[in-house]
Every structure is written in C-alpha cells, then in structure tokens.
Amino acid sequence: MLLRYVIAVIRRAPHFSFPPENMEVMPGGSANLTCVAVGSPMPYVRWRQGSVELTPPESIGRSVLVLTDIQESATYTCVAANEMGRIENTTNVTVKGNELCCCLSDCLFFDSLFSYFTYIPSFGAFLHSVL
C-alpha cells in the first residue's frame, strides 16, 4: 500500500496578538512594554523610538522593552515583520506629574518622591508641599 501525504503550508502576514498598551508612570519610574505578534512564518519583533532601534531584531514572536528611570514622556513603536508583510503599533509612555491637571478641582500630583502640588480652587493657585 502506497501512502501519500500532502502538507499545505499557509503563509500569513503578521498581526498583533498582544499589542502594546499606553502606560503612565511617575518620574523616575520604570515600565516593561510587551509586544506579541504571530504569522507564518513567525515574525521578528523589535522596538524603536523614532528611527532608533532599541532592541535586537532577533526576537521572534515577542519582544519586551524594559525602561528604567523614566523622566520624560515618549512614544515607542513595536515593529513585527516576516516575508509576508510588516506591521507597526505605536504606544505612549506618559510621565505623570510633569503636566498640569486637566481638572483644576481636586488636583493633586507629585513632582518628585517627597514633593507634591495641590490645587486650591479658592485661591486659584497651586500649593507646593514637601514631605
């Protein structure tokens, strides 16, 4: 008896199964940005900021960008590519405490570990306090 097998390989462009999410951190904080993409063949996944590559292009299917001592808000882009296509997803890391509040009532934000501002509506001003 002669058996014959047919193997079909389906090739697909990458798509994000776990796209990166926007994050908020305090000044000096840290964050792990994770990006997962699938496709056939499995895509290479990497991070960049503008045109600067931040991770090696050898990561297959998943890449984690570890950020430490974050002082400024920034935008990062996850890129996934295989021979069938290329996709990108942009995420923002926002440093809290470096901007004024959107709502002036009940406004409290920290500018460092031991210092904070409170908005006093009756005075129309911010009060700086040191712990």
Q: Give yes or no for a contact between 25 and 93, defined as CB atoms under 8 angstroms apart.
A: yes
Give me the pLDDT at residue 101, please: 47
* Contact (CB, 8 A) for 34 and 45: no
- pLDDT the model gives residue 105: 44
Residue 47 near residue 33 (C-beta atoms within 8 A): yes
pLDDT at 117: 60
Ranges of each domain in the chain? 12-96, 100-131
- Taking CA atoms, 129 is separated from 81, 83, 103, 118, in Å, by 49, 56, 19, 8
Q: pLDDT (tens digit, 9 = 90+) per residue, 57-79? A: 788 999 999 999 999 999 999 99
- Positions of the chain with pLDDT lower than 70, given as ranges: 1, 98-131
Q: Say yes or no: domain 12-96 is CATH 3.40.50.720.
A: no
